[in-house]
Amino acid sequence: MIECNGGVNMKIAFIQMKVVSDKNLNLYRAKRLLIEAAENDSDIIVLPEMFICPYNNDYFLQYGEVINGNSQTIKMLSNIAKERKVYIIGGSIPEIDNGKLYNTSVIFDEYGEIIGKHRKVHLFDINIKNKIKYFESDVLSPGDKATIVDTKFGKIGVCICYDIRFPELVKKMANEGANMIIAPSAFNMVTGPAHWEIIARSRALDNQIYFGMCSPSRNLESSYTAYGHSIIADPWGRVINELDENEGILYSEIDFSLIKKVREELPILKQKRNELY
C-alpha cells in the first residue's frame, strides 16, 4: 500500500498478544495473530517485547535461542514474512550467543530475510521501594549499537522498551534518517500509567517522526504485569492510535508526508544550535 501523494503510505499492525509461560502456546498465538494481521492488509507487523516467554530473569536462558536458520522462533517468523509478503519486527526474544544472553529483536523483510537485529542497549534496572524492583542486568548483556533497517517504506529505527527512555538514542536514529521508530516494549503497572504515553508523544514530537510501542497484553497471572496500551504517535506529537490493556491488534495507517509538512511548519530540526550544546 503505497500512495505517496500525502495519503496513506503504509499500514502497520501492533500485535498486543497475551504472553504466557508455555513457549509453544506463545508461538502458536503469535503465528495466528500474525496471519490475521497479514490478512487485514498490513505491510509491517510488530510483536511485543519477550513475546515467547515470561518477562522474568529466571526464564530467559530456558526460553532463549541461538539466532540462526534453525531457531524455532526465527523459522516461524521468516516463514510468515515470506508466505504473506509482510515485514515483521519480531518483538524480542532471549538470544543466546557465546554464553551470553541478550534481549533481541529480529527484523524480517517481505521475503523472509533478516534485515536487522537489535540487541537492547539499555538494560532495565529499577528499584522503587514497595512497588517494583527489577535488574535485567543481572542476567542480560547489553547490545552496543543503534539499529535502523531499510524498508520499501523508508528507514525504520528499532529499539526495545527501556531504550526509549534515552532521547539520545532516538535522536541518533532520527538523525540517520529513520522516519519511524518502533519499540517492542513491556512497561509495567508503575511506569506504564506514569510515563508510557508521554514518552511515545515526546519522542515523536521532538524528532518529528512516527514513534510506536508494541506491548504484550496485561496478564495478571504473570510475575511481571505488562501495562498493555500499545500506542503510536505522529510527528506533531499526537496519539493517533492506542489499545487498552486487553489482547488485540492495533492497526494504523501511516502518512509519511506529514513528516515533511510538520518539519516545514515548525522547523526545529533546522534551528538547532549545535555549536551551543
Catalytic status, residue 49:
yes
Size of the site for its own copies (CB under 8 A): 42
What is the spatial distance between Cα 251 and Cα 214, in angstroms, rounded to a whole number?
Answer: 11
Residue 178-217 contact track with its own copies, rule CB under 8 A, x = bound: -------------x--xx--xx-xx--xx-----------
Residue 144-163 contact track with its own copies, rule CB under 8 A, x = bound: xxx-----------------
Q: In degrees rounded to 5, what are phi and psi of residue 257? A: -65, -20
- The residue whose grid cell reads 537485529 is 117
In the complex with its own copies, which residue's Cβ is closer, 156 or 159? Answer: 159
CA angle 87, 26, 239 (to 5 degrees): 55
Closest Cα to residue 118, out of 106, 108, 109? Answer: 106
39 binds its own copies, rule: CB under 8 A: no
In the complex with its own copies, which residue's Cβ is closer, 43 or 49? Answer: 49
Residue of 79, 97, 142, 241 that binds its own copies (CB under 8 A): 142
Instruction: Provide the 8-state DSSP code for 113.
Output: -
Burial 244-255 (b: 16+ CB within 10 A, else e): ebebbbbbbebb
Only segment of 9-17, 138-146, 212-220, 247-255 that touches its own copies (CB under 8 A): 138-146
Catalytic positions: 49, 120, 161
